[in-house]
């Protein structure tokens, strides 16, 4: 289980008794947080920062602990912030500045100078906030009494985002083949991805998977087919095609385990040695939390892996989706999002069917794929683009809806959604922002999760939703 360290701030000006009380209050606070955050994260208390040396020592414990994904800091008393400078300069993990108090209410009848000196977050946390701003350290501020539900909810959210950032730093994308020839938005600077987000984007030839697939045993295929039949309904006579996909998935699983891969891409233009484009193989892996981007889209592959981690333990689905086509009926506009095969099985509203159909592109044999209608509910659509000198995240609120009519001739899985605040503003804003046609859709995450991720990773963020107006559109390209 991942952990957060809790580092309180104080100073030695108020005497030993005061410091003892600070430590005791922090122990109680950490106990309370551990009770409330059970199953999400563990919180561990580090020595109170009274000097620059203690701060540096604490931050080195943070840096050297692989289980630690972030830090919570809080100034119980005043804590002169110069003593935080050197420690904070060593901090490389997400930081939450908890602006709270040990006491909820002011004890008006009893308050004296000792109480006021002991409990001065309003004083100490502002001094500390200044040094974070001065050092330009990305951080999240959560304000309120620590036992209040909204404060706990924010800390829980921070823990989930910090865990996702922890995974981000360990993300390794295997790209089988390059990105699709001539496509712009899937391209970019892989080196910058590793520098900024920790994503190792590593190239392998698809021949690696073809060779592994060739060595898959009959027993392994049978086991994979049993897994498919347990989850999905066979709706094809062409079982051979499904068995071929089973081989690909077994091969991919072996490759993923051996090379410590968390995400991968393939490309229908580069399938040498494979009879089919991986369909159900990719769909089933995505449903298990493996990141995926088609056509060599390493950014979306990595992002989907990171966002699936962020959504861990929450209701709903998260995964790669591609924008396809619209229903432009006035006032009832909808988008049909899908892909030629690879829609994550986690989005299925009904039990998916395994079907085999011809695929017009790629010049390969008919691939087996899962066909289903998507889940409904509030969600977000998130993408990440590389603008050369910086990355930009675009996040739009959407409402996933039931398809208004059956689409019996469309042989792929699909989801449908409504844009916010409406079709005209929502889609125009996405286009102005340069949002890709590949994205991660989630019904588990919210815009606020993505905003926290963007802030903590120092990424430019453009959000679109019910608060987006015509006036916002006019601001694009009018700088």
Please give the residue ranges that form the binding site for Mn ion (CB under 5 A): 295, 322
What angle is formed at CA 313 by the lines to CA 309 and CA 315, rounded to 5 degrees? 105
Pairing of the two strands 438-442 and 377-386: antiparallel
> Which residue's structure tokens are 């804003």?
429
Q: Tell me how far, at minimum, the Cβ of 273 lies from Mn ion, in Å.
A: 22
| DSSP state string for 400-452 | EE--SS--TT--S-EEEEEESS-HHHHHHHHHHTT--SEEEEESS--HHHHHH
- Of the pair 125, 322, the CB lying nearest Mn ion is at 322
Pairing of the two strands 263-265 and 291-293: parallel
| DSSP state string for 214-263 | HT--HHHHHHHHHHHHHHSEE--S-HHHHHHHHHHHHHHHHHHHHTT-SE
- Of the pair 249, 322, the CB lying nearest Mn ion is at 322
- Of the pair 292, 372, the CB lying nearest Mn ion is at 292
Burial of 257 (0-12, 13-18, 19+ CB in 10 A): exposed
CA-atom Rg of the chain in angstroms:
25
Give the span between the Cα atoms of 327 and 333, in whole angstroms: 5
* Residue 81 main-chain phi, psi, to 5 deg: -80, -10
- Of the pair 244, 322, the CB lying nearest Mn ion is at 322
Q: Tell me how far, at minimum, the Cβ of 339 lies from Mn ion, in Å.
A: 7
- Of the pair 97, 339, the CB lying nearest Mn ion is at 339
Q: Tell me how far, at minimum, the Cβ of 451 lies from Mn ion, in Å.
A: 26
- Of the pair 140, 295, the CB lying nearest Mn ion is at 295
16 three-state secondary structure: helix
- Of the pair 253, 297, the CB lying nearest Mn ion is at 297
Q: Tell me how far, at minimum, the Cβ of 323 lies from Mn ion, in Å.
A: 9
Q: Tell me how far, at minimum, the Cβ of 408 lies from Mn ion, in Å.
A: 24
Q: Tell me how far, at minimum, the Cβ of 340 lies from Mn ion, in Å.
A: 8
| DSSP state string for 346-397 | GGBSSPPEEEE---SSSS-PPPEEEE-BBP-EEEEEEEEEE-SS-EEEEEEE
Q: Tell me how far, at minimum, the Cβ of 134 lies from Mn ion, in Å.
A: 44
Q: Tell me how far, at minimum, the Cβ of 295 lies from Mn ion, in Å.
A: 5
Give the span between the Cα atoms of 472 and 454, in whole angstroms: 20
- Of the pair 186, 468, the CB lying nearest Mn ion is at 186
Q: Tell me how far, at minimum, the Cβ of 268 lies from Mn ion, in Å.
A: 9
Edge-first strand listing for the sheet containing 353-356: 233-234, 353-356, 368-371
Q: Which residues contact 211 (CB under 8 A, 6 or more apart)?
A: 273
Q: Which residues contact 388 (CB under 8 A, 6 or more apart)?
A: 189
- Of the pair 210, 436, the CB lying nearest Mn ion is at 436
């Amino acid at each position: 289980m991942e952990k957060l360290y809790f580092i309180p701030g104080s100073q030695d000006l108020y005497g030993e008794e005061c410091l003892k009380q600070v430590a005791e209050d922090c122990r109680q606070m950490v106990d309370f947080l551990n009770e409330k955050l059970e199953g999400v994260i563990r919180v561990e208390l580090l020595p109170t920062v009274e000097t620059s040396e203690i701060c540096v020592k604490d931050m080195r414990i943070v840096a050297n602990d692989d289980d630690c994904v972030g830090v919570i800091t809080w100034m119980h008393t005043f804590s002169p912030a110069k003593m935080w400078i050197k420690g904070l300069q060593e901090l490389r993990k997400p930081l939450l500045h908890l602006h709270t108090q040990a006491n909820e209410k002011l004890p008006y009848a009893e308050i004296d100078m000792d109480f006021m000196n002991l409990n001065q977050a309003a004083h100490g946390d502002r001094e500390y906030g200044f040094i974070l701003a001065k050092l330009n350290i990305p951080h999240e501020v959560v304000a309120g009494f620590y036992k209040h539900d909204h404060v706990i909810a924010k800390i829980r959210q921070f823990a989930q985002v910090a865990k996702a950032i922890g995974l981000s730093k360990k993300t390794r994308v295997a790209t089988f083949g390059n990105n699709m020839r001539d496509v712009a938005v899937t391209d970019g600077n892989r080196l910058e991805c590793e520098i900024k987000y920790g994503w190792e984007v590593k190239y392998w030839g698809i021949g690696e998977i073809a060779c592994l697939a060739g060595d898959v045993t009959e027993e392994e295929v049978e086991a994979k087919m049993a897994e498919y039949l347990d989850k999905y309904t066979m709706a094809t006579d062409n079982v051979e095609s499904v068995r071929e996909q089973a081989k690909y998935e077994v091969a991919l699983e072996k490759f993923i385990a051996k090379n410590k891969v968390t995400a991968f891409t393939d490309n229908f233009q580069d399938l040498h040695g494979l009879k089919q484009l991986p369909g159900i193989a990719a769909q089933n892996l995505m449903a298990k939390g493996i990141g995926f981007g088609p056509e060599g889209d390493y950014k979306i592959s990595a992002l989907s892996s990171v966002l699936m981690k962020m959504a861990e333990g929450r209701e709903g689905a998260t995964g790669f989706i591609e924008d396809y086509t619209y229903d432009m009926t006035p006032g009832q506009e909808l988008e049909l999002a899908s892909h030629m095969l690879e829609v994550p099985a986690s989005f299925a509203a009904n039990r998916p069917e395994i079907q085999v159909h011809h695929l017009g592109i790629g010049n390969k044999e008919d691939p087996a794929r899962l066909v289903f209608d998507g889940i409904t509910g509030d969600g977000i659509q998130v993408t990440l683009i590389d603008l050369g000198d910086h990355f930009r995240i675009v996040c739009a609120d959407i409402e996933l809806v039931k398809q208004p009519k059956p689409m019996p001739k469309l042989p792929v899985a699909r989801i449908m959604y409504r844009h916010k605040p409406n079709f005209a503003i929502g889609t125009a804003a996405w286009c102005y922002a340069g949002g890709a046609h590949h994205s991660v859709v989630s019904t588990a995450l919210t815009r606020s999760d993505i905003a926290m991720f963007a802030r903590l990773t120092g990424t430019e963020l453009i959000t679109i939703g019910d608060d987006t107006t015509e006036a916002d559109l006019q601001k694009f390209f009018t700088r």
